[in-house]
Amino acid sequence: MDIITTPIPYGRQHITEEDIRMVVETLQSDFLTQGPKIKEFEEAFADYVGAKYAVAVNNATTGLHLAATVLNVRPNDKIIVTPMTFAASANCIRYCGGDVVFCDIDKDSYLLDLDKLRVLLESSPQGTYKGIIPVDFAGYPVNLENLRMLANEYGLWILEDACHAPGGYFIDSNGEKQYCGNGKFADISVFSFHPVKHIATGEGGMITTNNKALYDKLCLYRTHGITKKPMQMRENHGGWYNEMITLGYNYRLTDIQAALGISQLKRANEGVVRRHQIAQNYNDALKKIKGIKTPFVEKGHYHAYHLYVIQVEERLGLYNYLHANKILTQVHYVPLHLMPYYQEQGNKKGDLPIVEKYYQHCLSLPMFPTLTDEEQNWIIRKVIEFVK
Ligand SMILES: Cc1ncc(COP(=O)(O)O)c(C=O)c1O
């Protein structure tokens, strides 16, 4: 008999009474947008990841677009992107007219493969590429120290898509923790607050950087390219006066969302710790099962476990079996170079064999802090039942 009555999603938000109280308080305040909650959220988030500056935006997709804009991506600029990610990681380059060049992933970490990246860079004249977009896929932190060294050899900027990884870190060659998005090695990092992510604000995102000039530009482009800073204006007619000095956007987060984000951020650490417990339970139960590959974690990497991805021979069968048993697993992701849009840009099946093989077998099991032991035991039982 089924012990689970309501479907278990692969990820979901957790909203507490305190979250609701914070949102209601903001609804009753003077500012629904462009008020004090934005700065408060930005400062708290910058502090959480260890970056100097943070810019709140209305989602990570617009955050990535702003980042690509201030990194000066121009038509026909070539940018290297991992194919194992959500479309937005690459689309930001297309919004600016740049060309996306995909590089294959490592078969264990599922992150951009540095050896393959080196081969790609060496096979083209210096100056061919302008930047790289690595993704801390599933919450597994990219070793940005190593990537930075390679990027420096070729004069490339790094835009880290850290949407899966707030709270994740790797230990660098000096033995120091380097949190995802801390701005030490990447020029800019971007986070998402979509409800399946670690921190939920409905829609929402955050950009972090340690570079003041980039920070100033991000703020400018977030709000229409309009400034009131005397230093940036040609004229000044009085207190009301502002100038639009470049073509920007309205990519602002509201104070209502920021209030929710501030409240959620207070529990972010707890959430990552709980995700680790869940991962440990899955590992203990599934690691030794023939036909299942559990996530690889190299020593010195603290996974943020946005996703818990297994590899399994009969993926479609397992997916259907779990869905029939109210376990709503998901596949992350269809490799981007196989999307019809990116095939129209000249990519084709067979170009990136490692990511294509990964895609044939990957499945994300439910992973979110409020997953109960009862639910997890049910998931484990059903996975093993099918595989055996
Ligand atoms: C890796 C990655 N990058 C970017 C995004 C875009 O985030 P948003 O939905 O906040 O625009 C997502 C969201 O799923 C993502 O997973």
Say yes or no: CB of residue 59 within 6 Å of ligand 1. yes
What does the pLDDT read at residue 5?
85
Say yes or no: CB of residue 86 within 6 Å of ligand 1. yes
What does the pLDDT read at residue 81?
98
Could you tell me which of 361, 312, 346, 359 has the C-alpha nearest to residue 84?
359
- In Å, what is the CA distance from 217 to each residue of 180, 232, 273, 345, 348? 22, 11, 35, 30, 36
Indicate the top mutation candidate among 189, 194, 199 to test ligand 1's pocket, ranked by most ligand atoms within 8 A of CB.
194
Ligand 1 midpoint to CA 260 (Å): 19
Ligand 1 midpoint to CA 86 (Å): 6
Could you tell me which of 306, 273, 272, 276 has the C-alpha nearest to residue 197?
306
Ligand 1 midpoint to CA 60 (Å): 6
Of ligand 1's listed atoms, the one at least distance from the Cα of 192 is: 10
The residue nearest atom 15 of ligand 1, judged by CA position, is 86
Ligand 1 midpoint to CA 166 (Å): 13
Say yes or no: CB of residue 135 within 6 Å of ligand 1. yes
Say yes or no: CB of residue 160 within 6 Å of ligand 1. no
- CA–CA gap between residue 150 and residue 152 (Å, rounded): 5
What does the pLDDT read at residue 2?
59
Ligand 1 midpoint to CA 85 (Å): 9
Q: How many CB atoms lie within 10 A of CB 266?
A: 15
Say yes or no: CB of residue 361 within 6 Å of ligand 1. no
Say yes or no: CB of residue 61 within 6 Å of ligand 1. yes
Per-residue pLDDT of the chain (388 residues), as tens digits, is: 457 889 999 999 999 999 999 999 999 999 999 999 999 999 999 999 999 999 999 999 999 999 999 999 999 999 999 999 999 999 999 999 999 999 999 999 999 999 999 999 999 999 999 999 999 999 999 999 999 999 999 999 999 999 999 999 999 999 999 999 999 999 999 999 999 999 999 999 999 999 999 999 999 999 999 999 999 999 999 999 999 999 999 999 999 999 999 999 999 999 999 999 999 999 999 999 999 999 999 999 999 999 999 999 999 999 999 999 999 999 999 999 999 999 999 999 999 999 999 999 999 999 999 999 999 999 999 999 999 8
Say yes or no: CB of residue 22 within 6 Å of ligand 1. no
Structure tokens at 146: 């190593």
Strand ranges across the sheet with 362-365: 292-293, 308-312, 362-365
Ligand 1 midpoint to CA 204 (Å): 10
* pTM of the complete model: 0.98
What does the pLDDT read at residue 137?
98
Of ligand 1's listed atoms, the one at least distance from the Cα of 63 is: 11
Structure tokens at 337: 């170079």
